Structure 1
């Protein structure tokens, strides 16, 4: 009997070691925000930054717009890496929520936005994200039946037949870099069939996959011929125009 307990304890210890080893491996593969992003993740005279257990919130201090932006991070990319885009949108008056996911993987909880919307009493909003984050945000949107959802934005991302968005009364924008070396091009092209006819498609010349955030080079990506700041600036300009068209309607 005692020997059985010894085997049980040894098995539990082994499982714990495997679990901790897995966590360490995932952490070692996670892309961390560079100084450019960290510098933007502080309150300024134009917006405040608040960090909760569920998101990092950028709230404009003036000219606040009626639509909030919920952002899902790319796979294994810490959400704070997108602070530059969040800060630029906040300066334009849009509240931005960089959603936190377990292990920095939006696939762990595609519905994480639901609790944030309820907790923060968000009314009208758009949701989207970068790479895997955009895929999971589109899945969330495809299952949403609320009139609060006004649009979906996809940065180096796509949807599929199971999570099609072309049957929803929403606006969609899809932005990609011409030098993207990571996106599944076939899935991206096929995904266009499941987006509304009114979807706005834009290619940032010289931009790559990682350039939507500030976390450095990403394994397997192609080199960009423009700086990340330029890619993010163009992205924000496109998003602001898109958001403005939604508000106008």
Structure 2
């Protein structure tokens, strides 16, 4: 008795799909795979190995095992198919220019990159205010270099988290790690884009009373908190959004006012969209911009610099 033809065929299809997804992710987002948190690269390698093993074992036409073993194989097949879909969904939005150029050190800003974060530091040492930033979901952390670099040029060290699998909730300890690595910092501004901003709000709320290096500010890029913080958050808050955003829509940003302190400042980039807060290409579900990306990036950076400068004085 051999394994049923349909089960062998389905196994080979799932194994082939896994190989295709691994190849597609590497071909279309190689820079992000290499420069993001290593978790996704590890999953690609494990998926590649698993697909090869499953394919070889299936082609050997091993005898079928009746009863629960066959049921287990079917269950594993379904889980494997779901895994391939998840792996494809997790493929990061890779950084594009001018973000890549902004990752280069020069006389004004020194850029260092590690497995868990990259840092844009003023070459002269800067002041005692640092910005910790959480990227949006599945976005290459480098994609924010161009919009955040003006903060470093203004004298504020910028730390951008590399989130495991590009999910901010998996990097909840990244802010504490950054504070431990920079003990000389007097105050922090915690910020983030989209889902990253939601997590940043939680981190700012937890750290705004820290005696040594408090979270003095919360900077939201096309984002809003997950719960009501209007009565608990003491840090200053700045919300920067876009009028044509199809994800963090103007209606959602307006609704977030009730969850933020009454003195929160709101800046709207007229004509901008969700993907204009970084440089990673178009994003599914986003709106249609009516201004250039360069114009929007300049406005976003200016709002961020003005906010952080005000807290650093």
Bin of the TM-score, shorter chain as denominator length: 0.7 to 0.9
Q: CA-atom RMSD, angstroms?
A: 2.4
Q: 2:44 is matched with which residue?
A: none
Counterpart contact for 1:141–1:165, Cα < 8 Å: no
Q: Which of 62, 67, 71 is the aligned partner of 2:129?
A: 67
Q: Which of 230, 242, 248 is the aligned partner of 2:307?
A: 242
Q: Which of 97, 104, 107 is the aligned partner of 1:35?
A: 97
Q: 1:146 is matched with which residue?
A: 210
- Aligned pairs for 1:9-88 (under 5 A) are 10=73, 14=77, 17-18=80-81, 21-22=84-85, 24-28=87-91, 30-62=92-124, 64-88=126-150
Give the structure-1-normalised TM-score: 0.87
Q: 1:103 is matched with which residue?
A: 165
Deviation for aligned residue 1:68:
0.3
**Which ranges of structure 1 fall in alignment gaps of 5 or more residues?**
none
* Change in CA separation of 1:42 and 1:9 when aligned onto 2, cut-off 3 Å: farther
Deviation for aligned residue 1:220:
1.5
Greater Cα radius of gyration, structure 1 or 2? 2
Counterpart contact for 1:46–1:61, Cα < 8 Å: yes
Q: Distance in 2 between matches of 1:5 and 1:167?
A: 54
Deviation for aligned residue 1:82:
0.5
Q: Distance in 2 between matches of 1:126 and 1:57?
A: 14
Q: 1:198 is matched with which residue?
A: 263
Q: 1:183 is matched with which residue?
A: 248
Q: Distance in 2 between matches of 1:169 and 1:202?
A: 20
Q: Which of 197, 219, 236 is the aligned partner of 1:134?
A: 197
Across the two proteins, how many residue pairs are aligned to each other? Answer: 245
3-state SS in 1 of match to 2:178: helix
**Which ranges of structure 2 fall in alignment gaps of 5 or more residues?**
1-64
Deviation for aligned residue 1:7:
6.2
Question: C-alpha deviations, 1:177-224, integer Å up to 9, x for none?
Answer: 111111155442232112122211111111111111101111111121
Structure holding more helix per residue:
2
Q: Which of 198, 209, 212 is the aligned partner of 2:274?
A: 209
